[in-house]
Amino acid sequence: MGLLDGKVAVVTGGANGIGRAVSLGLAAAGAKVVVNDIGVSVDGRNPSSQPAESVVRDIAAAGGQAIASIESIATTAGGEAVVNTAIEKFGDLHAMVCCAGILRERMIFNMSEEEWDAVIAVHLKGHFAVWRPATRYMREKKRGCLIGFTSTAGLEGSPGQPNYSAAKEGIVGLMRSTALAMAKYGVRANVISPEAQTRMTDRLPDTRRTQVAAPPEGIAPVVAYLASDRGAHITGQVVHVRGNQVSVWSHPAPLRTATRADAWTPEALADVWDTALGQDRLRRLDRMNIPWPPPGQTS
């Protein structure tokens, strides 16, 4: 008996890297899987149906059930079609997992509108495009699971990925909104922040690649658990996974507060800010050896 016997799952971006590992892992746990992937390169070009069909064959060879879907989840029509495929082919939908993603890396001052739009469309709009029809179905069934994928690039920032970072942080906001909206229907929503070695991380500098050198297969058990009935009480969470390490990250909350009897003036704030409020320091400033404040500035 598998933890997901009788369940139907959709995995967007399910043919490469983390998505492939998740598709295989869900099938191994007993789920019927729709492997959605348009088979593009890391930057979103050169589509092909072969990657999704290859994963389907691997699942079938292991005794599981799966079908390929090559709809683009960067459009709402594509998202609707992916959800409809699961319902029409397998008769149900229990878990919607969003792994699809591309990269168009550039510093913000050099980024084009097309580079921005393409990444936002696949990552952030791609979650919305499948979650909207999935929640409509799950609301009627009074159960279901949505699992999105964020990134430390969104949670902590990444200087050469403003589009990707914005999309990944946006996915967290979408997840929290969805978790609140769907709680009364028994539907949960969570996101995973993975660190794993994939074709996306192959583009990183050697020092950063070492930090994420964990196999993508480590993500799949966490997805399978969250998608299962045993994980049905968990919602609204950011779960970080790196190899054998699983962490639950905190939600934003006030760190320090300053109040004043009279209205604040800029000068009054300048007098007390550093002692009363300070900063919540960007963790990656230190990890990337970026000095702040800049040399010559007072702290």
Nearest to 101 by CA among 217, 245, 200, 223: 200
Q: Which of 72, 151, 165, 228 is catalytic?
A: 151
Which amino acid, 59?
I
Neighbours of 263 (CB within 10 A): 6
3-state SS, the chain, equals CCCCCCCEEEEECCCCHHHHHHHHHHHHCCCEEEEECCCCCCCCCCCCCHHHHHHHHHHHHCCCCEEEECCCCCCHHHHHHHHHHHHHHHCCCCEEEECCCCCCCCCHHHCCHHHHHHHHHHHHHHHHHHHHHHHHHHHHHCCEEEEEECCHHHHCCCCCCHHHHHHHHHHHHHHHHHHHHHHHHCEEEEEEEEECCCCCHHHCCHHHHHHCCCCHHHCHHHHHHHHCHHHCCCCCCEEEEECCEEEEECCCCCCCCCCCCCCCCHHHHHHHHHHHHCCCCCHHHHHCCCCCCCCCCCC
Q: Is 225 a catalytic residue?
A: no
Nearest to 282 by CA among 159, 149, 170: 159
Q: Which residue has the tokens 């934003």?
A: 252
Q: Is 164 a catalytic residue?
A: yes
- Structure token pair of residue 228: 């299962």
Q: Is 142 a catalytic residue?
A: no
Q: Which of 125, 137, 168, 193 is catalytic?
A: 168
CA 189 to chain centre: 11
Q: Which of 125, 158, 164, 165 is catalytic?
A: 164
Residues labelled catalytic: 151, 164, 168
